[in-house]
């Protein structure tokens, strides 16, 4: 298990990131939750103890200055910095023929460039702590061709590549880097579409496992990765998609 310390979770206020923040706080870590609104994780049923270990910081991950300032503030929470979860992300879609360059760049700035910059910011802290764990939240779309999703698919494939390169480059410093790639996960934003109608019918046909996936499913996996002492595990993409990605 990682030494108790501070873990930074981008997009830690809602959805998957909020569930991850609470799960890591339950392990006894201090959790810095970065989001544009700087809110604490919104998770129903979260214990007061876990919430007390979470701290909200205002940060736009698309801005290098904003990330640098938020990481500096998080470092003041005390204790060693032992991990980072790059979770903040945006999903914009549209036909490739008319998808705007502006939207393309928003997707890459939020989903991909922010991962590179956050990893650069966390590096000196993890080296000072003697190593640590970086989890990048990708997507099972990283290996698929999905209509109307060129930018999103490409941005998440690049997250896998960043994960592999840093895992190799920083292994000598005791830093492990893992890409956790979810399939369809219910969050507040999509729960109506996931529970009935055409999307639900599609998911029932395509996902062999229990559906829908939940933010807590992803949080449990991230928690397990912070708990395990299988230090040989690094550089991989771990899919959590109810077996959809391997179904034929």
Residue 87 in contact with ligand NDP, rule: CB under 6 A: yes
Min separation Cβ 71 and ligand NDP, Å: 13
Q: Which of 104, 108, 170, 184 binds ligand NDP (CB under 6 A)?
A: 184
Residue 61 in contact with ligand NDP, rule: CB under 6 A: yes
> How many amino acids of this chain bind ligand NDP (CB under 6 A)?
28
- The 3-state secondary structure of the chain, one letter per residue: CCCCCEEEEECCCCHHHHHHHHHHHHCCCEEEEEECCCCCCCCCCCCHHHHHCEEEEECCCCCHHHHHHHHHHHHCCCCCEEEEEECCCCCCCCCCCCCCHHHHHHHHHHHHHHHHHHHHHHHHHHHHCCCEEEEEECCHHHHCCCCCCHHHHHHHHHHHHHHHHHHHHCHHHCEEEEEEEECCEECCCCHHHHHCCHHHHHHHHHCCCCCCEEHHHHHHHHHHHHHCCCCCCCCCEEEECCCHHHCC
- Which of 152, 184, 202, 239 does the annotation list as catalytic? 152
> Which range in 161-169, 179-187, 196-204, 228-236 contacts ligand NDP by CB under 6 A?
179-187
Residue 136 in contact with ligand NDP, rule: CB under 6 A: no
Residue 62 in contact with ligand NDP, rule: CB under 6 A: yes
Of residues 184 and 226, the one with the C-beta less far from ligand NDP: 184
Q: Which of 26, 36, 103, 174 binds ligand NDP (CB under 6 A)?
A: 36
- The reply to whether 123 belongs to the active site is no
Of the candidates 45, 44, 47, 133, the one whose C-alpha atom is nearest the C-alpha of residue 84 is: 133
The first and second tokens of residue 7, run together, are 């873990």
Mention every residue, 6+ apart, whose C-beta is less than 8 A from residue 82: 2, 3, 4, 5, 6, 7, 29, 126, 129, 132, 133
Of residues 3 and 204, the one with the C-beta less far from ligand NDP: 204
Min separation Cβ 2 and ligand NDP, Å: 21
> Which range in 10-18, 119-127, 162-170, 223-231 contacts ligand NDP by CB under 6 A?
10-18
Give, as ranges, the residues between 40 and 59 that touch ligand NDP (CB under 6 A). 59
Of residues 129 and 158, the one with the C-beta less far from ligand NDP: 158
Q: Which of 56, 83, 89, 242 binds ligand NDP (CB under 6 A)?
A: 89
By annotation, the residues acting in catalysis are 152
Contact residues for ligand NDP, defined by CB under 6 A? 10-11, 13-17, 34-37, 59-62, 87-91, 110, 137, 139, 182, 184-185, 187, 189
């Amino acid at each position: 298990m990682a030494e108790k310390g501070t873990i930074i979770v981008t997009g830690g206020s809602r959805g998957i990131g909020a569930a991850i923040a609470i799960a890591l706080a339950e392990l006894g870590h201090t959790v810095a939750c970065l989001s544009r609104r700087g809110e604490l994780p919104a998770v129903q049923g979260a214990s007061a103890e876990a919430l007390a270990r979470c701290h909200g910081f205002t940060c736009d991950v698309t801005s290098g200055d904003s990330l640098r300032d938020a990481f500096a503030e998080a470092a003041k929470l005390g204790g060693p910095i032992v991990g980072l979860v790059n979770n903040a992300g945006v999903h914009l879609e549209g036909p490739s023929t008319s998808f705007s360059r502006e939207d393309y760049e928003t997707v890459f700035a939020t989903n991909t460039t922010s991962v590179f910059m956050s990893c650069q910011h966390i590096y000196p802290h993890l080296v000072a702590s003697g190593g640590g764990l970086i989890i990048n939240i990708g997507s099972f779309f990283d290996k698929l061709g999905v209509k109307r999703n060129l930018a999103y698919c490409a941005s998440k494939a690049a997250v896998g590549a960043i994960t592999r390169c840093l895992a190799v480059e920083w292994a000598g410093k005791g830093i492990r880097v893992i890409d956790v790639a979810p399939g369809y996960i219910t969050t507040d934003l999509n729960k109506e579409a996931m529970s009935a109608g055409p999307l639900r019918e599609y998911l029932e046909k395509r996902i062999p496992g229990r559906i829908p996936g939940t933010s807590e499913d992803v949080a449990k996996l991230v928690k397990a990765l912070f708990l395990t002492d299988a230090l040989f595990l690094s550089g991989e993409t771990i899919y959590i998609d109810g077996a959809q990605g391997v179904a034929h």
